[in-house]
Structure 1
Amino acid sequence: MATRRIISGEKTILEKDDKDFSQAAGEKSNIAPAVPAHVIYKLLGFTLAMVVGPIGSYFLTLNTLFGGNSTYAGALAAIMANVVLIGYVIVAFQEDQTEAVEAKEKEKREGKKGL
């Protein structure tokens, strides 16, 4: 098995991968988080609802509403899990639509400034 030798003037793979940081020294770095905080709070809220909602509805309705019938209580817990999931999907779609509307409005404002 033969290996390829590196010629002294040729860069290695690691050297090719490195960026020239001397050019970027004058630029400011973007230290904003990759995911906004409000998105994380929504995710945590829906995660908590996904845990508490179905389990809580199961135990609350097992003896009070369904008289010990665990099948009905389990079915209600499954329905509650689906309700939380559908709620999360609706909130995610609405957030995505508001971001698109805000981007269009920003483009309109920038277009008017150029006139």
Structure 2
Amino acid sequence: MATRRIISTEKTILDKDDDDISSPVAGQQQSSNTAPAVPMDVILKLLAFTFAMVVVPIGSYFLSVNTFFKGNSTYAGGLAAVMANVVLVGYVIVAMNEDQSDQLEAKKKAGKKE
């Protein structure tokens, strides 16, 4: 079985890939983008809904177990589960509306350019 020796001046596949990435093409400057990948308002909405997902079900359980359900923890637990689902559905609705507003803004910008 014969093996092939790599000549020191010959570039391997890995060397070729590194050269392609590191050198700018035909003298073009590549600017780095330091903007965050996710807008701040999206992060704040996620944090708010995360906080609500923790506080609302637990709070509804402890508020309702003695006030509405007179010590019956089964019903209070059911209410807590329903409230967790309400928060989750609220997040999905907000996320869908945000996605649709982004698409509408993109269509408006495309319409103005033409």
Q: TM exceeds 0.5?
A: yes
TM-score range (shorter-chain normalised) is: 0.7 to 0.9
Partner in structure 1 of residue 31 of structure 2: 28
**Aligned partners of 1:58 and 1:94: how far apart in 2?**
30
Q: Which runs of 5+ in 1 are unaligned?
A: none
Q: Size of the alignment, in residue pairs?
A: 111
1:17-60 per-position Cα deviation (integer Å, ceiling 9, x unaligned)? 32133447723211111111111100000000000000000001
TM-score by length of 1: 0.84
Q: Which runs of 5+ in 2 are unaligned?
A: none
Question: Which of 78, 81, 84 is equivalent to 1:78?
Answer: 81
Identity %: 65
CA gap of 1:108–1:72, structure 2 versus 1, over 3 A, is: same
Which structure 1 residue ranges, 4+ long, deviate > 6 Å from structure 2?
none
Task: Note the 1:5-84 alignment, pairs <5 A.
Answer: 5-18=5-18, 19-23=21-25, 26-84=29-87
